Amino acid sequence: MKSQITAATLAALLASIALFQASSVRAAEAAPKTSSAKNESTGWSTLVTAADLHERLKNKDLLVIDARSPGEYAAGHVPGAINLPGANWRTPAAAPGSSQIGQRIFRKPDDSLDVERYEKFLGAAGVKPEHDVVVYGNYAGKADGSIPAAILIKLGHKQVEFLDGIGLDEWKAAGYPVTKEPTTLRPTVYKANPDLKRLWSYDDVVNNLDNPGVVIIDSRTPEEYAGNDLRGNKRGGHIPGAVLLNAEEFLDPASHKTVSAEVARKRIEAAIPKDKTVVIYCQSGTRCSHKEIMLRDLG
């Protein structure tokens, strides 16, 4: 009876909460390369500054992806950046009252990652596996921010970084120029190299609720975790056994920049035991995408 109750509770909860990723500290060596050099002031490699990006603009292998809306891109963007809006990386938002789950990464009918769809999408945009990609959007934890970077990491792209803070604001504040001239690339053939074990399904979670080798991280707010803030869900609360690790605690509320790697590491290590498989979830995959990037960066 216990497993039946748990499954029913999860079915209601996961109808609107997106499970975004699963990873293990033991698999760190197999993870794709996601950084070039550690920034001495922040301690991050994958989360780069405007100065880091500006210094590398002449690199012929660099590709900058603007994940904001087409209108924002047209109003001004980093020179040479292509526009791949965050909304195009996931399914549309579900209509109010609909039983459908919106804003999910694209999956096949068997619930596995739709790698072929992403290959066509990226190839049509001219993205190549050998590109050193820097993504920027409005800020981490937004659909038009870190989601595309996290999906590229999931697809096994070798070099992926994210412009920390509110991307274009950081760029302009540093005194760097913007342009309204759009950049488009010739279509190419994109071949992904994903680790499909890093994306968990509903069944994966249900089957591992009592697994001592798995820790489930809830990236939402304390109010959501406690069930006091429903955020449009039919039922509140959290996955049984999940540990709260609020995404907001990793972003400076004024600048929207990520806290230093040292601070993040202390907070994460206090919540996540070593040598565990880590499963992260939030509401629609936006907030936990930022945590995925941080965890990969920290090894």
Give per-residue pLDDT as tens, 109-159: 888 899 999 999 999 999 999 999 999 999 887 878 899 999 999 999 999
In the CATH hierarchy, which fold is given to the domain comprising 31-194?
A: Oxidized Rhodanese; domain 1 (3.40.250)
Rounded to whole angstroms, how far apart are CA atoms 229 and 226?
8
Domain with CATH 3.40.250.10 in the chain: 2-28+197-297, 31-194
The answer to whether the beta carbons of residues 34 and 161 sit under 8 Å apart is: yes
Rounded to whole angstroms, how far apart are CA atoms 171 and 167?
6
Q: Which of 213, 261, 229, 233 is nearest to 48 (CA)?
A: 261
Q: What is the reported pTM? A: 0.86
In the predicted model, is pLDDT for residue 13 greater than 50?
no
In the CATH hierarchy, which fold is given to the domain comprising 2-28+197-297?
A: Oxidized Rhodanese; domain 1 (3.40.250)
Rounded to whole angstroms, how far apart are CA atoms 216 and 228?
20
Instruction: Name the least confident of 101-110, 152-161, 260-269.
Output: 101-110
Rounded to whole angstroms, how far apart are CA atoms 286 and 299?
21
Q: Which of 248, 252, 246, 207 is nearest to 226 (CA)?
A: 246
- Span 237-262, mean pLDDT? 94
pLDDT for position 1: 32
More confident residue, 39 or 73: 73
Rounded to whole angstroms, how far apart are CA atoms 294 and 265?
9
In the predicted model, is pLDDT for residue 34 greater than 80?
no
- Span 49-72, mean pLDDT? 95
For residue 258, give Cα distances in angstroms to 3, 51, 167. 39, 16, 12
The answer to whether the beta carbons of residues 148 and 84 sit under 8 Å apart is: yes
Rounded to whole angstroms, how far apart are CA atoms 24 and 296?
10
Rounded to whole angstroms, how far apart are CA atoms 54 and 219?
31
